[in-house]
A and B are shown apart, each in its own frame.
Chain A
Amino acid sequence: MALLTFKKGVHPHDHKELSKESPIQRFPAPKTVYIPVCQHLGSPSQPVVAKGDRVKKGTLIAKVTGFVSANVHSSVSGTVKDIVDIPTVFGNRAPAVVIENDGLDEKDYLSPLNSEDRAVLIERIKECGLVGMGGATFPTQVKLSPPPDKKIDILIINGAECEPYLTSDYRLMLESPESVIEGARIFLKILGAQKGYIGIEANKQDVYEKMDAILKDNSVLKAVLLKTKYPQGAEKQLIYAVTKRKVPAGGLPMDVGVVVQNSATAVAAYEAVKAGKPLFERIVTVSGSGINKPANLLVSTGTLVKDVIEHCGGLTEEAAKVILGGPMMGISVAELDIPVTKGTSGIVVLTDKEVQKEEYEACIRCGKCVDACPMNLSPFHYIALGEVKQYIECEKWRVMDCMECGSCAYVCPAKRPIVQFVKIAKQKVLAEIRRRGAK
């Protein structure tokens, strides 16, 4: 069978061998957890606990505040010590609920749900605070409630995990394929979609075979093998690979009748419905040559990155960069007192040798960025215009269609930080669009 894929993209070494073989282990929740009130994309949630409150695992501690928002739950049982501002991965500070763990592990789950009703299922997913666990952390219930004029006929479960190093989805799909499939069934019910695909990259052949064996008599759900290429797991690229449908520029997958959900989100949905378990823990890959013992850990949200790294034998002598997420789109952090959140798919530590330290050079117009860009854009323009502070001009070269996958910067022989300039350009263009709208 020919492998499904998209056009262009890059082939970074995946380094998954570092953590591929280590089964998921539970990382015991630390004495104190710092659970950020906002762990999702959208409006921040409102804390509903106060200092001194007693909470259990799964107790609601912050409530949704708008349509695009998500509940937050306690990941330990214990006492709320305070609500304080702590550093976030984005470099700013944001409120977090500090809970002292009493070690009793008492649970406060919702009751298991047997309903087939669409609205009830969506409500449950919303209650349990589900977000996209691939890293974007978009509230799941929003993705599952398309406006009535958008008919969804295809669901895709994203098991591509195209980021190098990360193996959290791989281990999850390998160890509990049934949960992924059950989660997919729940999504199918909610969406009323006729067809579901579980997209798996070819470097996870064993997962594909397992899924395929379970689904061989299933007429609705099907496992499909994708070419190992970055960014195979990007939403629009995945949809194109599986369905050959092209999401319009500036549009959403629902515009072509597709909804994509991460495989970890599917498992979370399954647990939310069948066990009433809110989303308060996730699998985190701790990997990279800068870490002593790479592992796949089930970590409670609010656990500090520092503690997780310590559990994995600490940083090596040469460790020089800590990335939350994968090395292509993840965010590097300066301090390790940052809590793991619902979107932390990995903690990747790179060594001094692997860090790009030299100054970037002039563009030699090799065109490799153009050949790599999965969105078919012209990345070289963004940095060239950015260097002369012509950020607004980037709009003409459709910078807003860029998803910041980093393929262009990855291939650039002059090591130009294209994505950095794209991020700035997008902000400036957005501000300009708003200004125009205000006129």
Chain B
Amino acid sequence: MKKLYMSASPHIFSKTNTKKIMLTVTASLLPATFWGLYVFGIPAFLTILTSIVAAVFTEWLACRIFKFELKVNDGSSVLTGLLLALTLPPETPLAVTFAGSFFAVFFGKMIFGGLGYNPFNPALIGRAFLLASWPVYITTWKKPLREGLNMAGIPESIVNMLTERNIPQTVVDTITSATPLNALKQSLLLLKEHSLSIEQFDTVKNALFDPGTIKNLFFGNIGGSIGEVSALLLLLGGLLLIFTRVITWHVPVIYTSTVAILGFVLGGRGFFDGNILFYLFSGGLFLGAFFMATDYVTSPMFPAGKVLFAVFAGILVVVIRRFGGYPEGVCYSILIMNAFVPILDRFTAPKPFGLRKKPHPRDGKEVKK
């Protein structure tokens, strides 16, 4: 007689699988990736290629060393490599990129047991490692190849206006050669050191918050990391993820709203002096919000935990951007919140059907009044 398969129920399954999810996320990153390639050209291509190759190689190597079953084809290391590359400046030395990618996969993921067991987002681990080891390389950005653009995305007319309004040329050079967030941070520092008068600072600030600048930020006519330049294309990729139900809107929306609101409150000279759109579209916020804060493995399991994760990560972004040593806080905000995931998972489990009160996490018993 014919041999029949046996298994416990259920016997039918949804069509989704790990590989498809990884591929969808990778595909959603492509618009921003291609924009990065268009804006920055060959160096960006080499950085991305090196990062992905290094990630896949490292996974293979780790599987050999730790005697894991080889699962490179699940696509997770390709994704890690791509994500890391997108957070790097296009002209990062390839050896540095390779080291970062190796660190990300080996110490960020494989050493914990591979996909599914890593407590921290591997790509961000790689970035944090590079930021600590070769800070100069990965904060040195090149201008976009296209003519007439500066780093901060400030339109030419407004740069001219800055000069006309007696802003020192050194300051103008500083802010037009820095990324938008760094330009704001530098100006705030200069204000604090009294190198800039309040009026001068406000002029600079208005240049940064000018609709023309914001427009360049949104469409990606700025310098910066390969994948972080165009908020629009990241948003597009994010919407694709939501549309394909890989992620829900909750974490990205709550995370970015927290940043936007707090950015408005704390982002300028005093209170309520910031600019919501500037805070939203600058830096790697959208990349972090849609592709890193939503990373399955390193984010909370339960809806309530996800909300808390997103809110606190959002607060951390603004705190780091405004008061920290770095102009950008997305990377650390997510890494720090990753560490809180186990405790969030312990205390935010939903109330099982048919219970009046949430069960106590210690013994699962309903708390008696």
Contact = CB atoms under 8 A, between A and B. Distances in A.
Contacts of A321: 4-7, 11
Interface of B is mostly: loop
Given A375-B352, A397-B364, A364 B9 contact: no
A417 B11 CA distance: 10
Interface of B: 1-2, 4-14, 16-18, 20-21, 71, 74, 113-117, 296-299, 301-302, 349-356, 359, 361-364, 366
Given A364-B297, A419-B10, A376 B5 contact: no
A397 B298 CA distance: 21
Contacts of A411: 14, 16
The 10 closest A-B pairs by CB, nearest first: A406-B10, A362-B116, A420-B8, A396-B364, A249-B354, A366-B296, A327-B11, A321-B5, A327-B12, A375-B353
A356 B20 contact: no
Contacts of A79: none
A322 interface: yes
Contacts of A164: 12
Contacts of A377: 352
Interface string A65-78: 00000000000000
A334 B4 contact: yes
Contact of B354 (A315, A362, A401): A401
A315 B11 contact: no
B14 A10 contact: yes
A53 interface: no
A187 interface: no
User: Interface size bucket, A side?
Assistant: 35 or more
Contacts of A24: none
Given A376-B350, A401-B353, A419 B9 contact: yes
17 contacts: A12-B14, A247-B354, A249-B355, A329-B10, A362-B117, A366-B296, A376-B352, A378-B349, A397-B364, A404-B9, A406-B10, A410-B10, A412-B14, A413-B16, A413-B20, A414-B116, A420-B8
Interface string A372-389: 001111101000000000
A365 B9 contact: no
B297 to A, nearest CB: 5
B354 A251 contact: yes
A322 B10 contact: no
A362 B5 contact: no
B302 A370 contact: yes
Contact of A413 (B5, B6, B8, B21): B21
Interface string A319-341: 11111000111111111100000
A413 B20 CA distance: 9
Interface of A: 7, 10, 12, 164, 236, 240, 246-251, 315, 319-323, 327-336, 348, 350, 354-357, 361-367, 370, 374-378, 380, 395-398, 401, 404, 406, 409-415, 417, 419-420, 423
A367 B302 contact: yes
B236 to A, nearest CB: 22
Contacts of B363: 396
B354 A246 contact: yes
A374 B352 CA distance: 9
Contacts of B7: 321, 332, 356, 417, 420
A415 B298 CA distance: 20
B14 A396 contact: no
A323 B11 contact: yes
Given A409-B10, A419-B10, A315 B2 contact: yes
Contacts of A419: 8-10
B12 A398 contact: no
B254 to A, nearest CB: 16
Given A350-B12, A361-B18, A398-B359, A249 B4 contact: no
A249 B366 CA distance: 10
B319 to A, nearest CB: 27
B11 A363 contact: no
A69 B21 CA distance: 48
